[in-house]
Amino acid sequence: MKGVILAGGTGSRLHPLTRITNKHLLPVYDRPMVTYAVEALVGAGIDEVMLVTGGTHAGEFFRLLGNGQEHGIARLFYAYQDQAGGIAEAFGLAERFVGRDKVCVLLADNVFERSLRTTVENFEKQESGARIVLTHVGEDEHLRHLGVARMNGERVEEILEKPETPPSNYAVTGIYFYDEQVWDVLPTLKPSGRGELEITDVNNWYVSRGLMEADVVEGFWGDAGESIDAYYEVNDFVRRNGVNK
């Protein structure tokens, strides 16, 4: 299985911090944010990785990670996104790297308390389709800013992006697993109202065909890029408790 870390975007929700650097290079406790994503994949057994980024600070990732070996990566590749066009567009740059292998896509601002190894192993056993990781969020106000799964028992029936009335308390975290069918799906996507290719549309393609599985993550999950408050919440948690355990 290959790993793809997405570390692009404008980081507008973390202004003014991101006026001077890419948000994924901002410190979380005692090291740059992106290194937690690297650690999460390597700790889950994925050591062939592509990092996708963009903007004027892209070269700083190379300075930080180099060839990846100091971070436990066997082979590290880089791709450059010319302009922010959505998560799905950024992921599409990894097609030649991934080939026909299964792939784990991780947004570099997502931080997990627990190891992702169990979910990676579950997807390795899955014959085909996709897999997402859900987390329980108690507050409707928070859910209105996230992708939320409509559930039927343990099955995902639909994923709604920023729903006014959340259909459940299960939010979709920023880690996605796909088989080779994803490369047929991406060219069919149409830009959303904000002019981007949405990863939720990819996920709902799999959901609509009964090809989506889901795990519910235990422990803390935080999106450090969601807002300034969320960024500092993740910082505080990592400092007190550590992550990727």
Cα 222 vs. chain centroid, distance in angstroms? 11
CATH classification number, 2-132+173-195+203-241, choose in 3.90.550.10, 3.40.50.620, 2.102.10.10, 3.20.20.70: 3.90.550.10
Q: pLDDT tens for residues 48-57?
A: 999 999 999 9
Q: pLDDT tens for residues 87-98?
A: 999 999 999 999
Q: pLDDT tens for residues 55-94?
A: 999 999 999 999 999 999 999 999 999 987 899 999 999 9
Q: pLDDT tens for residues 172-217?
A: 999 999 999 999 999 999 999 888 999 999 999 999 999 999 999 9
Q: How far apart are CA 101 and CA 108, in angstroms?
A: 21
Q: Is the pLDDT of residue 10 over 90?
A: no
Tell me the DSSP string of 200-230. HHHHHHHHHTT-EEEEE--S-EEETTS-HHH
Sorted by where each begins, the domain ranges of the chain are: 2-132+173-195+203-241
Q: pLDDT tens for residues 125-144?
A: 999 999 999 999 999 999 99
Q: Model's pTM, two decimal places? A: 0.97
- Mean pLDDT value of segment 148-153: 96
Per-residue confidence at 166, pLDDT binned at 50, 70, 90?
A: very high
- pLDDT on residue 195: 86
CA angle 191, 152, 124 (to 5 degrees): 70
- pLDDT on residue 193: 86
- pLDDT on residue 84: 78
